[in-house]
Amino acid sequence: MKAAWYSANGEAQDVMQVGELPTPSPQAGEVLVRLATSGVNPSDVKSRRARPLSDPLIVPHSDGAGVIEAVGSGVPAARVGERVWVWNGQWQRPFGTCAQYITLPAAQAVLLPEGTDFAAGACMGIPGLTAVQSVILAERMAGDLQGQTVLVTGASSAVGHYITQMVTLAGGRVVGTVGSEAKAAHARAAGMQEAIFYKTESVPDRVKALTHGRGADVIIDMDFSTTARWAAEGALAAHGQVICFGSNALEVQMPFRPWLFQSMGVKFFLVYDLTAADRLRAVARLSHMLAQDQLQHSIGQRLALDQVAQAHLSVESGQIVGNVVIDV
């Protein structure tokens, strides 16, 4: 099979290789998926650059979509021919979705509705599941989002674009941070009601102005290293909740007194490591939204497998609005 891989950490143009690897065979409980697309996420490029290699070579990317071509023992033969999207394709294993085939446990290949194309399917594993789990946790910690103000940091990002849609579907009012007018337009098209240009204006001050001084009821956050301070400065209402799935700094100084005296809470989660119950709930809710055609999908760039290095560079640049997808 044709595949892309790297055998050392480094810059994409220096370490990414494309060639032939053996086609895997499904073991007990597994499916073999003939991939049509592979999604590229920031975590993929960070891993290539700095995560120590666990094996002699790494086929990158956790997300993808395609058709089940064969099944291992214990998996119903009726699944052959099923259109699917996959999650955790390269989580704690060396061979991800940047190849023509992947084998993985049957539960990690989820039915993709006929009306959803493979490019969109390649956006479900990390962007889609991160978004839906964020909203599920927001509802768990803050209650029904109907009428609540939700600050979405990075509202035009791959994940933020889905979060914005899902909060809007749940009846929430989305206030989003964005870096440009183009990104604001992208987020508004997904349901964002108010844009905050974080590069040129104070986010806490704008949130307070938009909420009559109260602050947002919920913050769904991709950078706790910044949001910890914003919340303490009034971006989050008393008794408000932060749902966080990322940080630009690994060590964060948290202004404890404002958080304590306003009884604010934070819930962190890693989309790769959801509990079994949370994973089932998130996959079911995302599958329902796909089946009902409730989501917009934004594909910012599609490239061929031979252009995998360029795909990584595009994600690293942060200039592409929408998901970067490779046709395999």
pLDDT tens-place string over residues 75-108? 999 999 999 999 999 999 999 999 999 999 999 9
Helix (H) or strand (E) holding 250: none
Whether the pLDDT of residue 307 is over 90: the answer is yes
- The pTM for the full model equals 0.96
Comparing CA positions, the residue from 190, 136, 122, 186 lying closest to residue 162 is 190
Domain ranges of the chain: 2-123+297-327, 130-272
Is residue 319 over pLDDT 90? no
* CA dist., res. 118 & res. 1, Å (int): 19
Residue 318 above 90 pLDDT?
A: no
272: Cα within 13 Å, side-chain hemisphere: 13
2-123+297-327 matches 130-272 in fold: yes
34-43: per-residue pLDDT in tens?
A: 999 999 999 9
In CATH, the number for domain 130-272 is 3.90.180.10
pLDDT, averaged across the chain: 97
Residues forming beta bridges with residue 220, ordered by sequence position: 152, 243
Q: What is the spatial distance between Cα 88 and Cα 273, in angstroms, rounded to a whole number? A: 9
- The dotted CATH code for 2-123+297-327 is 3.90.180.10
Q: Assess whether pLDDT exceeds 90 at residue 200.
A: yes
pLDDT at 327: 98
The length of the chain, given as a count of residues: 328
CA dist 197 and 179 (Å) reads 6
Mean pLDDT, range 266-276, rounded to an integer: 98
Task: Give just the sign of the alpha carbon dihedral 272, 278, 280, 284.
Answer: negative
Residue type, 2: K
Per DSSP, what are the bridge partners of residue 241? 218, 265
